[in-house]
Amino acid sequence: MDYIHLRELQFFGYHGVLPEENVLGQRFRANVSLAVNVQKAGQTDELDNTVSYVGVYDICKEIIEGKPFKLIEAVAETVASRILEAYKGQVFGCRVEIIKPDPPIPGHYKEVAVEIVRGRFYE
């Protein structure tokens, strides 16, 4: 199994349980890893034989900067589902991490994040 990684994607969205999160918005980051087979792409050097990084980025952007969700778990699930649907037959699994660097939690911490793994590993 080969992997394509898109790391530290940055967006601005309106996800959260608190009303002010839905009004003011905040920064979000995403890391996405795709389980793929890129052997043919490596041999042919042809874009048609791999997954478009731009397409994956656009899916993430549309969801994270789009309709607000209460939970970043729902954001991650939606991103994973859309990627798997858009690249059926090319992406066998994906790992999606959604990072909320500035949640409204009192205290000292770097960030909060949710990471999920979804896929069709046995197709």
Q: How far apart are CA 91 and CA 3, in angstroms?
A: 9
Decide if 40 is catalytic: no
Structure tokens given for 85: 């649907």
**Cα–Cα distance between 47 and 10 in angstroms, integer?**
24
Catalytic residue among 40, 61, 70, 100: 100
- Catalytically active residues are 100
